[in-house]
Each structure stands twice: as structure tokens, then as C-alpha cells.
Amino acid sequence: MANHVVEGEALLAAEVAEASALKKLYLQHEHLLIASTAVLAFFLTWESMTRFALVNPLFISSPTLVARAGYRLFAEGEIWKDLRVSGTEFIIGYLMAAGVAIPLGLAVGWYKRLYYILGPFIDALNAVPRVALLPIIIIWAGIGIWSKIVVVFLGAVIPMLINTFSGVKTTEERFLRVARSFGASEFKIFWTIVFPGTVPFIFTGLKYASGRALLGVVVGELYAATAGIGFLITVAGATFQTDKVFVGILIITFTGILMVELLNRVEHLFDEWRPKVGSAE
């Protein structure tokens, strides 16, 4: 891919050198310009569809209506409670998942027999879409905040566990051999070789888990809740307040993008720690 891009850019550079000032500006910012034009065109089409009464605003709302609803929700303060509830569910479930999955993943990766014992359960849970367990979780924990925390936990724990586990498993073989030859204790090997090599994998797991956790919050609240952003979306949908539905969806989208972006950065930070499997000296 690298080659492909470089070649494209080289061609572009040649084009740019010969072009007029205006064209140069366009070519240099082509990506941004085309992208923002597309987004603008999308919003204009959407707005005009309801403005010119082509479609009932009940069905698709419109950007201005959505903006107004968003402003109202934040200004009148109704939304803060929902945000707080969803945020609490997300954070508690996610942290609990990390607290369980990372130590367990390290242990399962390090002790072969523990893996043999727990492997079937991890595989089984991984195969089940965890949201299908919602009706049972509701029976166990009610429709309050705890059922959502459990769903978030179950959603997030598996990717974290599997990534931590595979992190331990991809430890550089040569390091282990050298450490053992020089008589390092198993404990020392674990903390100085295995664990640092696992860190990037843990962050990858955390990244995937954030998506699953967000899904858990939304689905849990859609299904049965008393407050939260997902609940806001359901109630608004059931009462045909399409503008409010869009506000809720936008909040979730922003959260999703923000988290992916943030965790991508963190993941990148630790990328050098990743063991290079099968690399030459």
C-alpha cells in the first residue's frame, strides 16, 4: 500500500507544480474539499426534502430540526440525566471487564492447564452474541442500571480476554530462551518479557471492547430501561419525535468516533512494544 500511495503522491506533485494557484490549492486540499462538499450536499438534500414537503418530517426530520432539538435537550437540561446514566453504565461495566479480563487473560496465556480448563467456556461465550442474553440478564438483575452494566461487561470482557491471551502467546520465543538460559526465574520472565510484549495487545483489546461496550449500552437501554441515551432514543422513536431520535444517535456516534480515535492514539503509543514475530536479528 505504501508504494501505491507514494506513487500517487509523486504524480500529484508533478501536476501541482504546473498548475495555476487556484488549482494548486484545490489539488493540495482535494480530500478535505471533496469530503466536505459531499457532507454539505447530503445535509442540503436532507433539509430540502422536508422543506419542500417531499417527505413528511415525521419520517426523516431535518438537519435544522435536529439541531434545534439538540439545543433544547441540552439547554433545558433533560439530557444530562440520560448522559449520566449511560456514562455510568458504560464506565462501570468497562472497568469491571478490564479488571477481570486482563489478569485472567494473562493467567490463561501463561498457565497451559488453566487454558485447557477455561478454553471451552471462553469459546462458548465468544460464539454467543451477548445481547441475546439480555432477557435472562433482565430476569437476574432487573431493568435498572445493573442489567446494563452486566451486558456491557459481557460484551467488553471477551475481546479484552482474547487479545490479552494472544498477546502472551505471541511472546518472542528467542527472548524466553535467552532468559531461561541465563537462569531467570519464571516470575522475572513474566514481568520483564511477557508482560511488556502483551501491552500493545491489551490496548487493541481495549479498543475493540469499547465498541462492544457501547453496543451493550445502546441495546440494553433500547430493550428495557428507565433512563439513558438508548432509552431516550426508544421513547422518542415510539412517540415519533424523529428529531430527538437523531440527537440520540448523533450523541452515540460522536462517542463512538471519539473513543476509537482516542484508543487508536493510545494503541499507537505502545506500538513499538509489540514483539516482531519471526523477525530476523
Partner 1 sequence: MAKEERLLAAEMAEAPRPVRFYVENERAILGTIAVLVFLVFWEGLTRGWWYDLLGPILGARAERLKINPIFLSSPTAIAQAGYRLFAKGEIWNDLWVSGTEFFVGFILSVVVGVPLGLAAGWYRRFYYAVDPFLSALNATPRVALLPLLIIWVGIGIWSKILIVFLGAFFPICINALAGVRTTDARLLKVARSFGSSEGQIFRTIILPSSIPFLLTGLRLGVGRAMVGIVVGELYAATAGVGFMITVAGATFQTDKVFVGVMIIAIAGVLMTEALTRLERRFDTWRPKVGAAT
List residues binding partner 1 (CB under 8 A): 1-4, 7-8, 30-31, 34-35, 37-39, 42, 58-59, 113, 116-121, 124, 127-129, 131-136, 138-140, 173, 177, 211, 214-215, 218-219, 222-223, 230, 233-234, 236-238, 240, 242, 245-246, 248-249, 252-253, 256-257, 260
Q: Quote the CA–CA distance of 95 and 115 in Å, as a whole number.
A: 23
- Shortest spacing between CB 236 and partner 1, in angstroms: 7
- Rounded Cα distance, 158 and 126, in Å: 6
Please, what is the minimum distance in Å from the beta carbon of residue 75 to partner 1?
Answer: 23
Residue 8 or 103 with smaller CB distance to partner 1: 8
Considering the complex, state which of residue 164 and residue 234 has its C-beta at the smaller distance from partner 1.
Answer: 234
Min dist. Cβ of residue 60 to partner 1 (A):
8
Radius of gyration of the chain (CA): 25
Most distant CA atoms of the chain, gap in Å:
79
Contact yes or no for 180/155 (Cβ under 8 A): no
Task: Give the integer Cα–Cα distance in Å for 44 and 39.
Answer: 9
Residue with Cβ nearer partner 1 (17 or 124): 124
- Least distance (Å) between residue 65 CB and partner 1: 14
Q: Which C-beta is closer to partner 1: that of 130 or that of 200? A: 130
In whole angstroms, the minimum distance from the beta carbon of 130 to partner 1 comes to 9
Distance, CA of 201 to CA of 267 (rounded, Å):
9
Cell 422543506, located at residue? 51
Which own/partner pairs from 42-48 qualify as long-range (CB within 8 Å, at least 24 positions apart)? none
